[in-house]
Amino acid sequence: MISDNLQKELTLQVKHEYFSSYFYLSMAAYCASINYDGFEHFFMQQVKEEEYHIMKFYNYMKDRGVQITFGAIEAPKANFKSIEDVFAVGLAHEKTITNRISHMMDIAVEEKEHATVSFLRWFVDEQVEEEKMFEDWLHKIKLVDGNGYGLLMLSDQAGQRNFAPPASAE
């Protein structure tokens, strides 16, 4: 049985995943406002990925008999200085989520809640991918050093991203 403490953390993570979706939607809107359609598309794919994460948590908690409650979601940052700033803020956000996942994993391990450890392992691996993706994009953006042609090329490349749930998805 999942402890009250771990239930609280899992429920809180649903809120964090919703905030992530909202946050990336804000980033997409910023990119659209400065006519970087590819970067807008990139962040819309990120929104879809966060929605997938929400449902993974929801279904796991439902299957384990956890009463799911929902809290208010704060407004995300809406103003950015540049595309570089968007990706730097995105990377910082992903690191925050990584810390949340690690915190929940620590609790699950301490409580010997093996099913939750198994469930969270997917998210641990996912966060490695998320941080690397943002680090790679940030590196590319820094390489073009604000050059308009370079940013347009990267925006076009970002526009090719498509999220699809993993084949083994529930």
Look at residue 1 and tell me whether its pLDDT is greater than 90. Answer: no
Q: Is residue 143 part of a domain?
A: yes
Q: Is residue 167 part of a domain?
A: no
- The pLDDT of 43-60, averaged and rounded, is 97
What CATH number should be reported for the domain holding residue 119? 1.20.1260.10
Q: Is residue 164 part of a domain?
A: no
pLDDT attached to residue 83: 97
Two tokens, residue 88? 């730097």
- The pLDDT of 134-159, averaged and rounded, is 96
pLDDT attached to residue 167: 80
d(CA 59, CA 31): 32
Look at residue 64 and tell me whether its pLDDT is greater than 60. Answer: yes
The residue among 53, 55, 60, 68 whose CA lies nearest residue 98 is: 53
Q: Is residue 104 part of a domain?
A: yes
Domain extent at residue 42: 4-70+77-158
d(CA 122, CA 141): 29
Q: What is the mean pLDDT of the chain?
A: 95
Question: 3-state DSSP call for residue 2?
Answer: coil
Q: Is residue 166 part of a domain?
A: no
- The pLDDT of 101-105, averaged and rounded, is 98
d(CA 156, CA 62): 40
pLDDT bracket for residue 5 (50, 70, 90): very high
Q: Which residue has the tokens 């794919």?
A: 45
Question: Are residues 10 and 67 in contact, defined by beta-carbon separation less than 8 angstroms?
Answer: no
Q: Count up the domains in the chain and report the number.
A: 1
Q: Is residue 52 part of a domain?
A: yes
Q: Is residue 44 part of a domain?
A: yes
pTM, entire model: 0.94
Q: Is residue 37 part of a domain?
A: yes
pLDDT attached to residue 166: 84
